């Protein structure tokens, strides 16, 4: 133990050095007292500070002596000062931990590697700033179990148990993240071993690299504080994920079996490449093979401290960029699509990635080169495991890695050529989600990738963009000659090459019929929303800004059923004041020319974060201070908004106010009280006040809430997430979090009944309203208004116009009796 660079004698807790020099001298004296250095080395530590910045980031500094003074180091050692109150190291850089390094050779690197790993793991790092137990510091800096051991030498830690993996798809990203989250809750070091390979259980990518398959026997072991409890905790998480994994696999198998066989069929038997259907539709065009882009990243060595600083900054900038991209995607495409970029940001927290980069920097490489290598090495390892679900994560890793690289050096921008001809069918090995989101849809008509999977983010985006796509067609796809004519069938997942004239004719004919149907819907989009027998269903738009109103009306909207005002607060440095909000609401009224307008009060929290509001971090933001709860606790946000709304109503046309995330009557009465106070003060007219039904509690108590509100609007996005306990942003659960789940439909039915008892009207403004099949069931359940993205209006109106209300009521009854969303969808498939 005494040969270890860090011993309890070299740790001093609760220090209060007078300044930087005093801190370095104190640590140097500890090293000297422990016989690690000759006292003159303390001057060498101080000289280094004059020529380099040894601040590593995350409140850590690593002073170390000059290379030429190595002879003054007697034995490698590291002295640690814990400074709970913090110490200014350089202007603007405060530290809580100081690691003074005296290195004879490079035998301190193992510890440095562990230190860099800790840098990105706040949950483990922050407690070290205040711990009263030196053993915790030693444990945190011990060589990681993920440090490679030669094959066959992998050993378990002190306490272990075995378990056989029973996940049908093996260990993929979702359950692995549950394992690592559970492991991080334990203070012990936790390891998972399979044969001769081990993984740090707290590290997602490390776990994934084990490549575990169904039936593999793993050994879970731990060392350090509460080791046995740590093993139990991890095993519990592993077992708990089993049921969800088995259910997901069963549903996927059922879906694959139930896949429709109707669709376009070629007239002849053209040569075709099979893939996996990823986004429906038929595209005819000319193939363009996108050559794999080989990035040449130069190696420009700099000091470790500078490299660490730059990497830290680039990671922070990329996180911010991804969060903005997620907000923008949420506004344009939807919450599930936005979740893709939020999940990518998670990858940036991976400690293996950071550690590998830092190690390469420690070995003398430049920061850009080191980061690029780390990303490539990890992505290759993941891809090589041969699991399609993991292959998708490798693509995400490369995508996000490229973003960081561009932050480090913007000149590395080597975007794939964008000079695509008209009617291009794009073929690529894989396509990054951010490239997919940026495709020029006026030229690109279809997308096929050699790798990837239908659940990969690229496929999800293609579906949202309405771009026919297939994935996982294998490397033969890349051998297709550029310029070949082809037909891409996104329903069947096939690429037909060099089709005959007859095939082209029949494909065009099929496209024409589809287009005709769409055109017919478009031509009738201005007709009032109603069923075939004339039952009126008001059709409104979900828009956020006045400049979107004209397009919404043109799309057939009869008003605005949901104006999400939080978008006025996003992507800016400070909240809009009362005057600015007033101008916006007046402009919206003006644009709607007296049509109904429902303005939703600020709905912040959960998936919608506004950095400048400095809301406290929550472990479960979706179950925390969001929506109405936040409005009631932050009056300085709500009151200017209410004043602006009542002033707009007084000066202009009427409008309605709606409150999000209501779960109790107390919230309703308090919010109404605040509205009334503002109204009286301004001598403004009474406005209809409604609530969103997004929490099962509100649906179940709708009959009790109804006397107190003027209307209900059901937010099926949140209602589904809370009823099914499925994160609405979760990329892998997105397909399962289906609002047509009978449990959600029953909550809607209960809301409608509760409202009807008091003659209140009910609208739906969540995503289900814009799905023609969903709209049909909602109309059948007795909903009065449907509010949706303007793009969905024509198809929804057409669907309602085709059916009598009695038929829709009957369907709704049948849907309520189904036992799964799949069954409901099958029931509705016949609804033309
Ligand atoms: C909903 O939850 O369905 C809803 C319309 O609100 P948002 O999507 O803005 O949370
Ligand atoms: Mg909501």
What are the chain's domains? 8-140 (3.40.930.10), 159-242 (3.30.1340.10), 271-292+416-512 (3.50.30.10), 304-412 (1.10.274.10), 529-828 (3.20.20.60)
The pLDDT assigned to 393 comes to 74
DSSP string covering 580-646: HHHHHHHHHHHHHTT--EEEEP---BTTB--GGG-PPP-SSGGGSS-THHHHHH-HHHHHHHHHHHH
pLDDT at 512: 94
| pLDDT exceeds 80 at position 105 | no
Question: For residue 719, how far is its CA from the centre of ligand 2 (angstroms)?
Answer: 8
Q: Which has more pLDDT, 131 or 830?
A: 131
Atom 9 of ligand 1 has which residue's CA nearest to it?
564
Report how far ligand 1's centroid is from the alpha carbon of 75 (Å): 62
> Which listed residue (96, 457, 803, 805) is catalytic?
457
Tell me what pLDDT residue 153 has: 57
Q: What is the mean pLDDT of residues 96-115?
A: 73
- Give the nearest ligand 1 atom to 718 CA: 2
What rounded mean pLDDT belongs to the chain? 86
Q: Closest Cα to residue 138, out of 324, 4, 47?
A: 4
293 CA distance to ligand 2 middle (Å) = 40
Q: Which of 182-191, 409-418, 566-575 has the highest mean pLDDT?
A: 182-191
Over range 672-681, report the average pLDDT: 98
Query: How many CB atoms within 10 Å of residue 242?
Result: 14
Given a cut of 60, is residue 108 above it in pLDDT?
no
- The finding on whether 766 has its CB within 6 A of some atom of ligand 1 is yes
Q: Which ligand is nearest to the CA of 331?
A: 1
Atom of ligand 1 lying closest to residue 607 CA: 10
Torsion of CA 495, 501, 502, 508, to 10 degrees: 70
Q: How many angstroms is it from 433 CA to the middle of ligand 1?
A: 24
Q: Check if the beta carbon of residue 66 is closer than 8 Å to that of residue 48.
A: yes
- Name the active-site residue from 58, 358, 675, 765: 765
Q: Is 372 part of the annotated catalytic residue set?
A: no
Q: From the CA of 285, how far away is ligand 2's center (Å)?
A: 40
Instruction: Compute the distance from residue 603 Cα to the ligand 2 centre, in Å.
Output: 8
Tell me the pLDDT tens digit for each residue of 377-415.
Answer: 888 887 776 665 566 677 788 888 988 999 999 887 655
First to last CA, the chain: 76
- Residue with the smallest CA separation from ligand 1 atom 8 is 717
**How many Cβ atoms from other residues are within 10 Å of residue 810's Cβ?**
13
Cβ of 584 less than 6 Å from ligand 1: no
Judge whether 818 counts as a catalytic residue.
no
Higher per-residue confidence, 56 vs 506: 506
Query: Probe ligand 1: pick from 715, 751, 774, max atoms within 8 Å of CB?
Result: 715
- Average pLDDT (145-169) is 72
What was the pLDDT predicted at 176? 81
Query: Residue 287 has what pLDDT?
Result: 93
Tell me, yes or no, if 358 is annotated catalytic.
Answer: no
Tokens (6 digits) for 744: 């959600």
Answer yes or no: are the C-beta atoms of 238 and 220 closer than 8 Å. yes
Is pLDDT of 601 > 60? yes
pLDDT at 261: 43
**Per this entry, what is the length of the chain?**
832
Q: Is the beta carbon of 694 within 6 A of some atom in ligand 1?
A: yes
Average the pLDDT over 571-577 and give the result: 84
Mean per-residue pLDDT, 455-474:
78
Pairwise pLDDT comparison (632 vs 244), residue with the higher score: 632
716 in ligand 1 pocket by Cβ < 6 Å? yes
In whole angstroms, what is the distance from residue 698 CA to residue 705 CA?
8
Please tell me the predicted confidence (pLDDT) of residue 207.
Answer: 84
| pLDDT on residue 259 | 40
Tokens representing 382 are 């993941």
Q: Tell which wins on pLDDT, 108 or 593.
A: 593
Q: How confident is the model at residue 680 (pLDDT cuts 50, 70, 90)?
A: very high
pLDDT of residue 51: 65
pLDDT number for residue 639: 97
pLDDT tens across 261-311, in order? 457 888 777 788 888 878 888 999 999 988 666 678 889 988 777 888 888
Q: Which residue has the higher pLDDT, 658 or 548?
A: 658
* DSSP letters for 318-329: HHHHHHHHHHHH
Please answer whether residues 246 and 431 qualify as being in contact, where contact means their C-beta atoms are separated by less than 8 angstroms.
no
pLDDT at position 145 is: 43
- The pLDDT value recorded for residue 476 is 79
Work out whether the CA dihedral 115, 118, 120, 125 comes out positive or negative. negative
pLDDT band per the 50, 70, 90 thresholds, residue 761: very high
CA 140 to chain centre: 29
Region of poorest pLDDT, from 336-340, 672-676, 683-687: 336-340
Is 765 one of the catalytic residues?
yes
Give the model's pLDDT for residue 456.
64
Q: Which two tokens stand for residue 228?
A: 């046995």
Kindly indicate the confidence band of residue 26, based on its pLDDT and cuts at 50, 70 and 90.
Answer: very high
**Closest ligand to residue 748's CA:** 1
């Amino acid at each position: 133990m005494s040969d270890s660079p860090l011993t309890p004698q070299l740790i001093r807790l609760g220090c209060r050095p007078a300044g930087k020099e005093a801190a370095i001298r104190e640590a140097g004296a500890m090293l000297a007292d422990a016989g690690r250095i000759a006292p003159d080395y303390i001057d060498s530590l101080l000289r280094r500070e004059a020529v380099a910045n040894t601040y590593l980031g995350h409140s850590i500094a690593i002073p170390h002596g000059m290379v030429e003074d190595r002879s003054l180091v007697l034995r490698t050692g590291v002295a640690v000062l814990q400074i709970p109150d913090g110490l200014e190291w350089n202007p603007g850089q405060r530290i809580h931990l100081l690691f003074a390094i005296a290195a004879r050779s490079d035998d301190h690197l193992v510890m440095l590697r562990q230190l860099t790993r800790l840098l990105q793991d706040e949950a483990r790092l922050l407690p070290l700033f205040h711990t009263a137990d030196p053993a915790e510091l030693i444990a945190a800096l011990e060589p990681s179990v993920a440090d490679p051991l030669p094959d066959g030498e992998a050993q378990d830690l002190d306490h272990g148990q075995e378990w056989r993996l029973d996940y049908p798809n093996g260990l993929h990203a979702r359950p692995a993240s549950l394992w690592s989250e559970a492991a991080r809750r334990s203070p012990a070091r936790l390891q998972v071993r399979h044969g001769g390979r081990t993984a740090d259980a707290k590290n997602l990518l490390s776990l994934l690299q084990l490549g575990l398959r169904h039936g593999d026997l793993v050994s879970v072991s731990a060392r350090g504080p509460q080791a046995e409890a740590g093993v139990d905790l991890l095993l519990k998480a592993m077992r708990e994920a089993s049921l969800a994994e088995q259910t997901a696999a069963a549903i996927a198998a059922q879906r694959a079996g139930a896949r429709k066989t109707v669709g376009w069929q070629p007239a002849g038997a053209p040569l075709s490449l099979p893939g996996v259907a990823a986004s429906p539709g038929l595209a005819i065009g000319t193939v363009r093979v996108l050559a794999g882009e080989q990035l040449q990243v130069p190696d420009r060595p700099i000091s470790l401290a500078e490299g660490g600083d730059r990497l830290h900054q680039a990671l922070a900038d990329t996180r911010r960029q991804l969060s903005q991209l997620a907000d923008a995607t949420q506004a344009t495409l939807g919450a599930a699509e936005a979740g893709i970029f939020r999940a990518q940001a998670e990858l940036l927290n991976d400690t293996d990635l950071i550690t590998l980069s830092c190690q390469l920097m420690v070995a003398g490489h430049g920061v850009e080169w080191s980061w690029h290598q780390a990303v490539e090495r990890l992505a290759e390892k993941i891809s090589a495991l041969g699991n399609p679900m993991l292959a998708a994560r490798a693509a995400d890793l490369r995508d996000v890695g490229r973003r960081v690289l561009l932050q480090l050096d913007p000149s590395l921008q080597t975007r794939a050529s964008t000079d695509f001809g008209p009617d291009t069918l794009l073929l690529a090995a894989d396509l990054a989600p951010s490239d997919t989101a940026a495709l020029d849809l006026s030229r690109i008509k279809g997308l096929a990738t050699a790798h990837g999977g239908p659940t990969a983010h690229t496929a999800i985006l293609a579906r949202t963009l309405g771009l026919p796509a297939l994935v996982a067609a294998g490397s033969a796809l890349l051998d297709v000659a550029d310029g070949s004519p082809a037909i891409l069938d996104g329903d069947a997942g096939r690429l037909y090459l060099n089709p005959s004239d007859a095939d082209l004719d029949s494909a065009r004919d099929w496209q024409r019929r589809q287009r005709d149907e769409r055109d017919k819907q478009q031509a009738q989009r201005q007709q009032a929303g109603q069923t075939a027998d004339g039952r009126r269903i008001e059709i409104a738009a979900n828009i956020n800004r006045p400049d979107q109103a004209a397009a919404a009306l043109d799309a057939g909207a009869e008003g605005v059923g949901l104006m999400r005002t939080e978008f006025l607060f996003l992507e800016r440095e400070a909240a809009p004041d009362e005057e600015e909000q007033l101008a916006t609401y007046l402009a919206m009224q003006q644009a709607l020319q007296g049509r109904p307008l429902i303005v939703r009060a600020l709905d912040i929290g959960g998936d919608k974060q506004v950095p400048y509001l400095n809301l406290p971090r929550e472990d479960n933001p979706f179950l925390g201070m969001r929506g109405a709860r936040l409005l009631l606790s932050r009056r300085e946000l709500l009151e200017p908004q209410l004043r602006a709304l009542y002033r707009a109503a007084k000066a202009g046309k009427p409008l309605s106010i709606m409150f999000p995330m209501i779960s109790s009557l107390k919230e309703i009465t308090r919010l109404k009280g605040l509205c009334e106070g503002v109204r009286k003060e301004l001598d403004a007219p009474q406005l209809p006040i409604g609530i969103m039904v997004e929490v099962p509690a509100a649906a179940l108590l709708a009959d009790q809430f109804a006397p107190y509100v003027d209307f209900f609007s059901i937010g099926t996005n949140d209602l589904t997430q809370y009823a099914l306990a499925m994160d609405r942003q979760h990329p892998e659960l997105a397909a399962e979090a289906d609002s047509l789940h009978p449990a959600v439909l029953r909550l809607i039915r209960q809301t409608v009944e509760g409202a009807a008892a008091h003659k209140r009207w009910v609208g739906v403004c969540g995503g289900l309203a814009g799905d023609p099949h969903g709209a049909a069931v909602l109309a059948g359940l007795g909903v009065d208004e449907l509010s949706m993205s303007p793009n969905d209006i024509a198809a929804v109106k057409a669907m309602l116009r085709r059916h009598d209300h009695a038929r829709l009521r009957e369907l709704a009854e049948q849907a309520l009796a189904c036992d799964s969303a799949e069954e409901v969808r099958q029931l509705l498939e016949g609804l033309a």
